[in-house]
A and B are shown apart, each in its own frame.
Chain A
Amino acid sequence: MSSIMIETKELIKSFKNGEQVTTILKGIDLQIKKGEFVAIMGRSGAGKSTLMYQVSLLDKPTSGEIFIDGQNVNRLTTDEQTKFRLKKLGYVFQDYALLPDLTAKENVAVPLIMQGMSTEKAYKISIEALERVGLAHRTDSIPARLSGGEQQRVSVARAIAHAPTILFADEPTANLDSESSARVMEIFKELHKQGQTLVMVTHEAEYGRLADRIIQLQDGQITKEKEIVRD
């Protein structure tokens, strides 16, 4: 198996607005290694979230190729991409993206049940995942009864419960206070230590520095890549 987990070749994403075409990503070539923690940074409008959406199969690029774990995922049908996301990818969104009618435990369990697990087993795993993010006491709470930080941790629990190949996080701390942000980042660090491949979009340099590598985007192009050296 290749040590490259994600690879993009000449990735372009354009949006059409009537006759006007706006290109957000202008031919991105990117490689992310297995077990690597990468932070994608850049100013607002640089294209960092758009890049993450393409790589994480939430959107389709205008052109270019994306390989995940050696597989050309562009060629997958919509249904196959959905299955791929279910089995191999995990997501943490800026606004938590929890389902309001489901409890924390149920939110985490849904993708597991979709994978064919029994409800009991899915609940067991989701409780374990919630314990990992320090929410063992809030398993039966619906999102509306949780704080922003707690909701984001539920979101992390949902993203990691099925042991994804890659965990994507889009501005995971943007809506959180510093204490909650630090807690979420601690979880990411812990996951990374355990060998989880992590791709995080952030505009906060403080958290970007926790990654192995920072990819700087500007006007839809990678302008700088910086390896973080730790003592």
Chain B
Amino acid sequence: MNKTVLKVGFFLAFRQIKRANIWTTGLIIIVMALTFLNLVVVNGVLVGLIQGAIEANRAHYIGEVLVTSLKQKTYIENSQTIFDIAKSLKGVDAVTGRYIGSAKVNADYRRKLRDDEVPNAAGTTLVGIDPIAEDEVTGLSKFMIEGTYLDGNDTEGIMIGANLLYRFTPIDSSAFQSLRGIYVGDKLKITVGKNAKEVVVRGIIKSKVDENDFRVFMTASEARKLLGRTDNNLNEVSIRMIPGASESDVIAVKQIFLNNGLDEGANIQTYDEALPKFVKDMKSMFALLGNLIGSIGLAVASITIFIVIFVNTLTRRKFIGILKGIGIDSKAIEFSYILQSIFYALAGAIVGFVILYGFLKPFVDAHPINFPFSDGRIYAPLSGTFIRAAVLLFTTLIAGYIPARMIVNKNTLDSILGR
């Protein structure tokens, strides 16, 4: 295509758009904007569901770096060294250590059960924490749906995850045990091996992070007694970086531990590595699903623009014939329709961008969609959105070109005479 062809194509396209019916143009742009949103938002919500779970895991459990015991060990070796190094590192905002062990919580320990009666009890993970440090890292105190957050000096109290209580997780299955009729202030018995302790429920946690919501929390000193731990070796250390820390900052912190050989006695992972595998798999799965639905959206967009340009060229067939008749190059005419397609796609994408980033995303971020396992947000990073806009533009360009070419290639005289 030479310069003159482009110039004439632009000349014709600009004036056709400029003098087109504003309502028709508006409607086409709205259709394109909705198609663009369909392309981005459906995928964004699906991935956002999982991304919400991932973000929640990071913000309310893992932190940026998670240190856990090696598989064959019951605790983190050199726990206190790791803990102290972590606290001293530049860029680290807060650190919390956890003592962890398997336990059983029983609500029927004060009465004798009949032989055929199933006790109101559930298996759980007992976690001993420093409530203040834990809150600094995971912000758990924000997730008390009933009662109060644990006090550091509380020797009797526990916080219990909502998933352990039947009224929050009403699952009737012999494979899943939960406690019925438990409220703040009720007493429970926690048993770890041969050790047992009567505790009082101070608060109930619901953070949509399973690692919190299936656990029972008590102060570290009391937990250690129950777990029979006489040393200070921790089972988990979560490290929170200062806000805005980059991925490379996180990797740098992990590297410091590795450089000190601390990975020989502990499993040191960044938040990304520490994510449960099923979450990672679900993210890929949902992204795939989102892309599949997005592809359907893209096909709809292509067909829409095809119909728009086809109808547009068909109704203008006579004028296309006239243009060819007076000697206008077919390529210039085709280019003018391609430009119109690009205009509709671009305008639609811009309107879509404004709706998405100016309203929809901020709104959903402020009012997340309440899914059982996460706070659903729209996951729409700019780079991905730009790629989708480019895909839409390209598809629209092809969808606009085909009908334009079909009509332009018709016999000139037949077009002029409307035959």
B193 within 8 A of A: no
A116 within 8 A of B: yes
User: Given the known A-B contacts A82-B327, A111-B328, A114-B327, are A59 and B413 also in contact in the complex, defined by CB atoms under 8 Å?
Assistant: yes
Which B residues, 1 to 56, have Cβ-Cβ distances below 8 Å to chain A? 4, 7-8, 11-12, 15-16, 18-20
A176 within 8 A of B: no
Chain A window 83-121, contacts with chain B (Cβ cutoff 8 Å), 1 for yes, 0 for no: 111110101010001111110001000110111100100
B412 within 8 A of A: yes
Q: Which residue of A lies closest to B4 (CB)?
A: A116
- Residues on B with beta carbons closer than 8 Å to the beta carbon of A119: 7, 11
A142 within 8 A of B: yes
B332 within 8 A of A: yes
B334 CB, nearest partner CB in chain A, Å = 13
Which A residues, 177 to 210, have Cβ-Cβ distances below 8 Å to chain B? none
Complex: A110 Cα to B16 Cα, angstroms: 13
B416 within 8 A of A: yes
A123 CB, nearest partner CB in chain B, Å = 11
B319 within 8 A of A: yes
Count of interface residues, chain A, beta-carbon cutoff 8 Å: 29
- Residues on A with beta carbons closer than 8 Å to the beta carbon of B12: 99, 101-102, 110
A221 CB, nearest partner CB in chain B, Å = 21
Complex: A106 Cα to B12 Cα, angstroms: 9
Complex: A57 Cα to B322 Cα, angstroms: 13
- Residues on B with beta carbons closer than 8 Å to the beta carbon of A111: 326-328
- Residues on B with beta carbons closer than 8 Å to the beta carbon of A83: 327
Q: Are A101 and B20 in touch, CB under 8 angstroms?
A: yes
A58 within 8 A of B: yes
Q: Are A91 and B325 in touch, CB under 8 angstroms?
A: yes
- Residues on A with beta carbons closer than 8 Å to the beta carbon of B324: 82
Q: Are B16 and A114 in touch, CB under 8 angstroms?
A: no
B329 within 8 A of A: yes
Q: Which residue of A lies closest to B5 (CB)?
A: A114
Q: Are B322 and A97 in touch, CB under 8 angstroms?
A: yes
Q: Are B416 and A113 in touch, CB under 8 angstroms?
A: no
- Residues on B with beta carbons closer than 8 Å to the beta carbon of A82: 324, 327-330
Complex: A79 Cα to B408 Cα, angstroms: 13
Highest count of chain A CB atoms <10 Å: which of B319, B324, B411, B412:
B412
User: Given the known A-B contacts A58-B413, A99-B319, are A85 and B325 also in contact in the complex, defined by CB atoms under 8 Å?
Assistant: yes
B133 within 8 A of A: no
Q: Are A113 and B327 in touch, CB under 8 angstroms?
A: no
Complex: A112 Cα to B252 Cα, angstroms: 66
B323 CB, nearest partner CB in chain A, Å = 7
Q: Are B325 and A58 in touch, CB under 8 angstroms?
A: yes
Q: Are B330 and A53 in touch, CB under 8 angstroms?
A: no
- Residues on A with beta carbons closer than 8 Å to the beta carbon of B318: 97
Q: Are A85 and B7 in touch, CB under 8 angstroms?
A: no
Q: Are B332 and A142 in touch, CB under 8 angstroms?
A: no
- Residues on B with beta carbons closer than 8 Å to the beta carbon of A110: 8, 11-12, 323, 326, 328
- Residues on A with beta carbons closer than 8 Å to the beta carbon of B11: 106, 110, 113, 119
B362 CB, nearest partner CB in chain A, Å = 39
A22 CB, nearest partner CB in chain B, Å = 14
- Residues on A with beta carbons closer than 8 Å to the beta carbon of B326: 85-86, 91, 110-111, 158
- Residues on B with beta carbons closer than 8 Å to the beta carbon of A100: 19, 319
Complex: A102 Cα to B16 Cα, angstroms: 8
A143 CB, nearest partner CB in chain B, Å = 11
Complex: A111 Cα to B329 Cα, angstroms: 10
Complex: A59 Cα to B325 Cα, angstroms: 10
Chain B window 287-322, contacts with chain A (Cβ cutoff 8 Å), 1 for yes, 0 for no: 000000000000000000000000000000011001
- Residues on A with beta carbons closer than 8 Å to the beta carbon of B4: 113-116
Which A residues, 63 to 85, have Cβ-Cβ distances below 8 Å to chain B? 79, 82-85
Q: Are A113 and B8 in touch, CB under 8 angstroms?
A: yes
- Residues on A with beta carbons closer than 8 Å to the beta carbon of B325: 58, 85, 91, 97
B137 CB, nearest partner CB in chain A, Å = 64
10 contacting pairs across A/B (C-beta < 8 A): A83-B327, A97-B322, A106-B11, A106-B15, A111-B326, A111-B327, A114-B4, A114-B8, A115-B4, A142-B19
Of all A-B residue pairs in the complex, the 5 with the closest CB atoms, nearest first, are A86-B327, A85-B327, A97-B322, A101-B19, A59-B413
